[in-house]
Amino acid sequence: MITRAPIAVIIFCAVIIQAVDKSNFKTCSQSGFCKRQRDHKPAESQYRALLDAVEIGPSAIKVHLVNKQNSAKLLLEVFALQDNTVRVKINDLEPNKLRYEIPVGDVLVQEPQQASLQVHSKDSSHMKLKVQDNTVILYASPFHMDFLSSDTPVMSLNSQGLLKYEQYRSKSKNEAAEDKPVDGVDENPGEEQEKEEENTAEEPDMWEETFKTHQDSKPYGPSSVGMDISFPGFEFVYGIPEHADDLALKSTKDTDPYRLYNLDVFEYELNNPMALYGSVPYMIAHNEEKSVGVFWQNAAETWIDIRSNTADRGMFSKLVDFVKGDDKIPQVDTHWFSESGIIDMFIMLGPQPKDVFRQYGLLTGTTPLPPLFALAYHQCRWNYNDEHDVASVDAGFDEHDIPVDVIWLDIEHTDGRRYFTWDAHKFPHSDEMIRNVSAKGRKMVTIVDPHIKKDSNYFICQQFQDRDLFIKNKDDSIYDGWCWPGSSYYPDFTDPKVREFWASKFHTDEYKGSTNDLHIWNDMNEPSVFNGPEVTMHKDAKHMNGWEHRDVHNVYGLYVHRATYEGIKLRGGNNHRPFVLSRAFYAGSQRYGAVWTGDNKADWTHLKISMPMLLTLNLVGLTQSGADVGGFFTNPEPELLTRWYQAASYQPFFRAHAHLDTRRREPWLQPPDHKQVTREAIRTRYRLLPYWYTVFQENEATGMPVMRPLWVEFPKEKETFRIEDTFMIGSSLLVRPVTDAGMTSVSVYLPGQDQVWYDRDTWQMKNGGQQVLVNVNLQKAKNMLSSQIPVFQRGGSIIPQKTRIRRSSILMADDPYTLIVALDKKNALSSFSWKTDFLSFISKRQQGHAKGDLYEDDYYSFRYKNGQYIKRRFTFANSKLSSSDIHSGGISMKSNAWIERVIVVGYAQHPSSVGLSTGSKQSDLSFDYDSERRVLTIRKPGININEDFTITVQ
């Protein structure tokens, strides 16, 4: 048993870097709707559900909600969806003006598949619905809803009465019309007084709002929607990125609410709820028994308040006659509100973490398996100056025998920040340059931002203007904002026509000087507008069909990302997997590639925060995510840079990047000792690429995160719920990066009472359920073993890896595998030698077990979608390692890769022989046994990876 207190102390004492100019960004009190919604305090809801007139369908019900004070009417729809998911939608019943809804297919992969819904009971006070194993109870008055997973209450909607729907109406304070409900229903004159209170007295921010020098004309007036969501029985909630904050979300009682509004924040501050570049309004609640999720599908500016409370015990006893002991039942209350749009919630009822991930994946999709190079090491800088510079960086990696897969070019490669062009002096032969890089299996990436230089001689600007594809001001003139190229226009990516046209520009005929080995980076797609309010676009700018920017802001970046992804996909004849990195994101962005945490800083605190930030992104499906290695701003000292490489080599998207004003910091420019450690960190990434690739494939298939908080793998272990300095890659590797200066040892919590762990450097075995101290002394870099960060392989797992580190990942495609078989506790004996003889006798019967998968394909194409891949399961049991085909379809593919070595760690006794059988053939294998470390190395089985085999250890 260990105490989590020290970790909590570290978390809350983290040094705050005062860098951001906070006055550039709104606080809640500076945002009209945030203030109005937040001022709405918990009370009995004014809404009543008209259960007598409920419409019941096979998988959905429709109910009218009436505001008791002003008779305003809303339409509530509840849909039962496949896989323990319920959708709750609240919209105007008879809208004065349509509210924005994100088109199906843009964030939701498709219209969610509905499931059957049974009405279990119904009277005028409530109705009880059954959705698979779950119960939904809808109470008429005051309107609220409870959700039960296998009879355990897990979620309530509007139990605090915070449902607040600002319906569109016309301006003019003194007209009687204004007092009438917008749906035109006659009101009872006697209720006028009360109604005034409910439908919000006029406030100055309602019809126009000014922030700094920027005016928001708000032609349609107030339109925000808000509601409370409670999680009875839960203490911990996660998700709702992007914030530079802890993994376990904090109470916002004494701060602003967590804000979701995609913003380009210069030198962002850590440990606070300010908005950053991306928004995913998706929250997961987890306790020892259950995991549930809620996705609030709304693209407008959104704020979320969080409070830790105690649940109403009555709810538990009344509903299910179930109370756990006498303890207080914890509860997390949350309050969500958005500036416009509708209330559209997806409630995922788990009940386990893996279920929630799958359920969310069904709705918004998962990360398509990245091409292998995307998972390897990326070298970026603002800027590699010219072709010569690129060639010398490319050569530098070879000279120092450090692998790299992608060399990146930032904005200076263009002709005056005109994307899709090249600086003719610095990059006169860009296609040749790319070919030279790709000759070693490497790729290049150029930046293409969504702001288009206003220049009638610039073909992109001209073509988009001719086709009328730019965002407009409210007076229908083209919206003109300031960004890198100066005065710029912004294509309206919400429009499918615009996306299609944009996509066509990536063809090598259009994007002159590019090749199919060039991939793309979308930056500044929040969108960033240097001279706009909060460095972004004016909310009253106009998009397709007259929607205001306010309605679509948070999803704009996703659309840019998507259009680019589709362009690269199209360029490769829909057969090559694209790689596109985006800074802005929304729910569903995972379908288009990678994201990163934006402009961080060369500071230990920023290295440390990258862990919770990336874990959160992984929880909400953005699995291909990373932080700039070394920190974007300022110069990292060698130790920080080295530690950053070590940490990032175990983060999903692994890219070094640096600001224009920083010193060069390619890995070989480090002092010799640090260079060695850095090189080893990068090479370790390549060694483990087969495992990474397999985990990413699992992610695509199941929605399981790639980088996982410990509680995802150990959901019943409360000690893990707050841990963010240690995490898992897949289910088999535990990683604890070093994020402080001068550390010679760090303590690591190894979860799992019955679990054993093996130090990946020494194969030393440790028992789970305890804190262990690991040597991480960087000064002893000559001894590579002690300079690594703590990484443990889980007992019971088998990890495939490759030991021949080539210049780039694709050059390793045919190379043989080494399988690391880490036995579980059954065979993992205590290290006291006096026991050995006795236990070796026991172990004959209690053999160690392990299993693991391997996924392989051609690493770059979509042919895997047609079954052209290999998927093997390795199982070690009863001293036999076997490999079986778990390919789900008929077609497979041929591989040149074979198995060169099997290492069984935690193997208790010296074997007498090792035999291999494949098909009908039998043969002996030579082996080496290290009795001190209990490591059995089986020499060269030599079987093709796609062959079934059994290796028997006697």
Question: Among 243, 454, 901, 934, which residue sits at the site for other proteins (rule: CB under 8 A)?
Answer: 901
Q: How many chain residues bind other proteins (CB under 8 A)?
A: 33
In this complex, which beta carbon is closest to other proteins, that of residue 55 or of residue 401? 401
Using the contact rule CB under 8 A, the part of the chain among 121-129, 263-271, 443-451, 799-807 near other proteins is 799-807
Measured CA to CA, the distance from residue 264 to residue 242 in angstroms comes to: 12
Question: Among 179, 815, 858, 930, which residue sits at the site for other proteins (rule: CB under 8 A)?
Answer: 815
For residue 438, which amino acid is it? S
CB of 85 to other proteins, least distance (A): 47
For 708, the 3-state DSSP assignment is strand
In this complex, which beta carbon is closest to other proteins, that of residue 380 or of residue 609? 380
In this complex, which beta carbon is closest to other proteins, that of residue 337 or of residue 397? 397
Determine which one of 599, 628, 761, 824 is catalytic: 599
**Is 664 a binder of other proteins (CB under 8 A)?**
yes
Question: Among 535, 916, 938, 951, which residue sits at the site for other proteins (rule: CB under 8 A)?
Answer: 916
Question: Among 328, 435, 910, 939, which residue sits at the site for other proteins (rule: CB under 8 A)?
Answer: 939
What six digits make up the tokens of 409? 């070019």
Enumerate the β-bridge partners of residue 104: none
Measured CA to CA, the distance from residue 483 to residue 481 in angstroms comes to: 7
CB of 895 to other proteins, least distance (A): 9
> Tokens 């931002």, residue?
449
Residue of 733, 929, 756, 758 whose CA lies nearest to 826: 756
CB of 598 to other proteins, least distance (A): 20
**Is 893 a binder of other proteins (CB under 8 A)?**
no
Question: Among 313, 942, 950, 952, which residue sits at the site for other proteins (rule: CB under 8 A)?
Answer: 942
Helix axes 353-364, 689-702, angle to 10 degrees: 70
Determine which one of 523, 540, 761, 857 is catalytic: 523
For 146, the 3-state DSSP assignment is strand
Question: Among 814, 831, 866, 889, which residue sits at the site for other proteins (rule: CB under 8 A)?
Answer: 814
Question: Among 440, 451, 549, 550, which residue sits at the site for other proteins (rule: CB under 8 A)?
Answer: 440
**529, 482 Cβ separation under 8 angstroms:** yes
Instruction: Restricting to residues 643-662, name those near other proteins by CB under 8 A.
Output: 660-662
Question: Among 762, 940, 950, 952, which residue sits at the site for other proteins (rule: CB under 8 A)?
Answer: 940
Measured CA to CA, the distance from residue 219 to residue 540 in angstroms comes to: 8
Residues with Cβ within 8 Å of 398's Cβ and at least 6 positions away in sequence, in order, are: 440, 807
Question: Among 900, 904, 914, 934, which residue sits at the site for other proteins (rule: CB under 8 A)?
Answer: 900
CB of 888 to other proteins, least distance (A): 25
Measured CA to CA, the distance from residue 722 to residue 731 in angstroms comes to: 18
Binding mask 726-765 for other proteins (x = CB under 8 A): ----------------------------------------
In this complex, which beta carbon is closest to other proteins, that of residue 743 or of residue 811? 811
Report how far apart the first and last C-alpha atoms of the chain are (Å, whole number). 38
For 848, the 3-state DSSP assignment is coil
**Is 233 a binder of other proteins (CB under 8 A)?**
no
**Is 41 a binder of other proteins (CB under 8 A)?**
no
Question: Among 505, 549, 807, 826, which residue sits at the site for other proteins (rule: CB under 8 A)?
Answer: 807
**Is 944 a binder of other proteins (CB under 8 A)?**
yes
Enumerate the β-bridge partners of residue 190: none
**311, 262 Cβ separation under 8 angstroms:** no
In this complex, which beta carbon is closest to other proteins, that of residue 383 or of residue 488? 383
Instruction: Restricting to residues 119-148, name those near other proteins by CB under 8 A.
Output: none
CB of 812 to other proteins, least distance (A): 8
Using the contact rule CB under 8 A, the part of the chain among 286-294, 436-444, 536-544, 744-752 near other proteins is 436-444
- Whether 523 is catalytic: yes
Instruction: Restricting to residues 366-405, name those near other proteins by CB under 8 A.
Output: 385, 401
**Is 806 a binder of other proteins (CB under 8 A)?**
yes
**383, 372 Cβ separation under 8 angstroms:** no
**Is 937 a binder of other proteins (CB under 8 A)?**
no
Cis, peptide link before residue 242, omega less than 30° from 0? yes
Measured CA to CA, the distance from residue 145 to residue 126 in angstroms comes to: 9
CB of 576 to other proteins, least distance (A): 19
Interior/surface letters 841-863, b for 16+ CB within 10 angstroms, e for the rest: eebeeebbbbbbbbbbbbbbbbe
Measured CA to CA, the distance from residue 582 to residue 715 in angstroms comes to: 31
Measured CA to CA, the distance from residue 278 to residue 296 in angstroms comes to: 15
Q: How far is CA 539 from CA 136, 152, 215, 219, 274, in A?
A: 37, 42, 9, 10, 19
Measured CA to CA, the distance from residue 536 to residue 479 in angstroms comes to: 12
Measured CA to CA, the distance from residue 925 to residue 849 in angstroms comes to: 21
**Is 943 a binder of other proteins (CB under 8 A)?**
yes
Measured CA to CA, the distance from residue 331 to residue 140 in angstroms comes to: 23
Using the contact rule CB under 8 A, the part of the chain among 119-127, 259-267, 305-313, 803-811 near other proteins is 803-811
Active site residues: 523, 599
* Binding region for other proteins (CB under 8 A): 385, 401, 425, 439-441, 660-664, 803-807, 811, 814-816, 896, 898, 900-901, 916, 923, 925, 939-944
